[in-house]
Amino acid sequence: MSEAAQTLEGWYALHDFRSIDWAAWKAAAESERAQALDELQSLLQVWSREEADKNGSTAFYSIVGQKADYVLMFLRETLEDLNAIETAFNKTSFAAFTKPAHSYVSVVELSNYMAKPGSDPLDNPDIVARLKPTMPKANHICFYPMNKRREGNDNWYMLSMDERKAMMRSHGMIGRSYAGKVKQIITGSVGFDNWEWGVTLFADDALQFKKLVYEMRFDEVSARYGEFGEFYVGNLLDGGKFAELLRV
């Protein structure tokens, strides 16, 4: 058996994609819409206080295209916290104007492929911070799930630790060349959801997603072993922008 990579886990993640029920929204009375928006704004305030207190982080983005209208991505200490957030949202009158579009459950993950031998990663404050990250308020988000292939001769899980390390190093070097332009959060979802990882990227310039993902396709670990699900891309929201978007 090949040696499994050691992973460190941080906050749990829920990507909650919803669509607006525009017919119901437009048919509602002005007062109902105002009430619904108020309830949503209160939750947004609760979530932003949790972020300020470093008890989690929340990202709020519109989604371009028909897969969803918006995503709320939550990072919290436990799966119970994520469940409580979902339930609190579902109890608002705003939720009645939304339809589920997609969701993804995972946990922030760092692997030891690039770790310095002999050191305890948890002594490194940068690593600890990456396990419980405050998500940046970048202009754009990009999310997609992925697997590492295990088919015939292309089976990631049959490779030796050294072979995987060499490939992950090359991957990491490409990634690092986008430092300052793209922020990535890798979340592991083996045992939690349909794919092995969720890839969430943040950037002020959306073209950097295309350039980064394209460049990585030529790198062996993506070219030979990467399998990808659906891509979601969107624009930064806040309570005010969302109210504007919903004005009918």
Annotated binding site for Fe-coproporphyrin III: 130, 144-148, 171, 184, 222
CA 130 – CA 126 distance, rounded (Å):
6
Active site residue 12: no
In angstroms and rounded to an integer, the radius of gyration of the C-alpha atoms of the chain is 19
Q: Between 30-52 and 79-91, two packed helices, what is the crossing angle to 10 degrees?
A: 160
Comparing CB distances to ligand 76R, the nearer of 88 and 127 is: 127
Cβ pair 166, 106 in contact under 8 A:
no
When binding is defined by CB under 6 A, the residue of 36, 212, 233, 237 that contacts ligand 76R is: 212
Selected range binding ligand 76R among 10-18, 35-43, 63-71, 178-186, rule: CB under 6 A: 178-186
Selected range binding ligand 76R among 57-65, 76-84, 97-105, 174-182, rule: CB under 6 A: 174-182
Residue 146's nearest CA partner among 110, 107, 102, 198 is 198
Pair of tokens at residue 23: 């017919």
Pair of tokens at residue 160: 């030796």
Cβ pair 13, 105 in contact under 8 A:
yes
Segment 104 to 133, residues that bind ligand 76R, using CB under 6 A: 111, 113-114
How near is the Cβ of 166 to ligand 76R at its closest, in Å? Answer: 12
Indicate which residue of 61, 144, 178, 225 is catalytic: 144
Which residue is it, tokens 């590492």? 148
Number of shown-chain residues binding ligand 76R (CB under 6 A): 23
Query: Does the protein bind ligand 76R through residue 190 (CB under 6 A)?
Result: no
Q: Which 3 state secondary structure label does DSSP give 124?
A: coil
Within 10 Å of residue 56's Cβ, how many Cβ atoms?
A: 21
Selected range binding ligand 76R among 40-48, 59-67, 98-106, 179-187, rule: CB under 6 A: 179-187
Q: Give the binding site for ligand 76R (CB under 6 A).
A: 5, 111, 113-114, 146, 148, 168, 171-172, 175-176, 178-179, 182, 184, 186, 197, 199, 212-213, 216, 222, 226
